[in-house]
Amino acid sequence: MDGLWSLVQKQAMWQIMAFRFLSNVFQGFSSTAIPSMSSAWVKLWPIVDSMTTAVGSLIFAAIMSLVGKYGLHWNWRWTIAVSTLCLIFLDSLVYMLTIWDVCRNQWFFTGVVLADNIPSGVRFIVSIFCAVEIADLGNEGTVYGLVTTVNNLASPVAGVLYKWINAYFKVTLNDIKTDTTEVRWHVTYTFWIAYGMKVLSLAWLVLLPPQKAHLQRLKKYGVKSPLAGVLCICLFLSFLVFSVVTNLMSIFPSTRCHRIAGGKGCKPEFTDTCVC
């Protein structure tokens, strides 16, 4: 326990943890309209969806292998920034063409899922590079566990936030089926918000050292702050509780209508009744 407490006080550790969490929360923003679009507009077959998932896993592994072999000396900031911006361009192209009924082909649509694996693989391998450089002899597992835990915590937090925002738009399955101009604009707005958050995720790259030499200097000369360690632990525990509570709220009829749980809002007089 003393070793863990000493570790989170080091600037190299809490700075990387902060980057992983904040960057991934912003990067994790999406649109709740995607499943409804897949079924109502694209008519995506389950077998095509499964095949895409399998191929996506292969692409993820290939990207990690390529970056691990040829990208050891790449600038980590530029690598993440370029891959993220390329993803946004490809992602927006496919989704906008689908939303506005220019092309609603399932094979074209599933290309987005495959493209998503490229920046995800890059970010994951960079986090491994960071963990390797931060770790000392004997605490490799602890360092990797902390970095991975922070990374995994960001996903449900991002999910709660974008579902809460999307609850104010007409993007339910019934709305998507109407396929009106108003609904198309509402779906478009949710994607624009997601893309804006992904671009803002690049602002947190200032917390990421450009390369392993910079990280080693930060590890050697960085400050040791008990306050930063306490804040780091308290904030991540708070977000963990927030994530668990909001996900549990989406299960029970009396609370799942709340916007923070992904609902459309509850009527004031009946907390167990959702606004349709």
Q: Residue ranges of the domains in the chain?
A: 2-155+171-224
pLDDT at res. 3: 67
**Mean pLDDT, rounded, of the chain:** 85
**Model pLDDT for residues 59-97, shown as the tens digit of each residue:** 888 988 888 888 778 888 998 898 889 888 888 999 999
pLDDT the model gives residue 270: 47
270: enclosing H helix or E strand: strand 270-274
Residue closest to 173 by CA, chosen among 260, 97, 94, 264: 264
pLDDT tens sequence across 256-274: 788 777 777 776 654 454 5
CATH number belonging to the domain at 2-155+171-224, selected among 3.30.390.50, 3.20.20.20, 3.30.420.10, 1.20.1250.20: 1.20.1250.20
Q: Bridge-partner residues for 261, per DSSP? A: none
- Position 1 scores a pLDDT of 62
**pLDDT (0 to 100) of residue 247:** 82
Per-residue pLDDT at 259: 79
Task: Give pLDDT tens digits for 183-214.
Answer: 999 999 999 999 999 999 999 999 998 888 88
Q: What is the pTM assigned to this prediction?
A: 0.87
Residue 28: pLDDT over 70:
yes
pLDDT digits (tens, 9 = 90+) for 203-250: 999 999 888 888 888 888 888 888 888 888 898 889 889 888 888 888
239 CB neighbour count, 10 Å cutoff:
18
Q: Are 147 and 16 in contact (CB under 8 A)?
A: yes
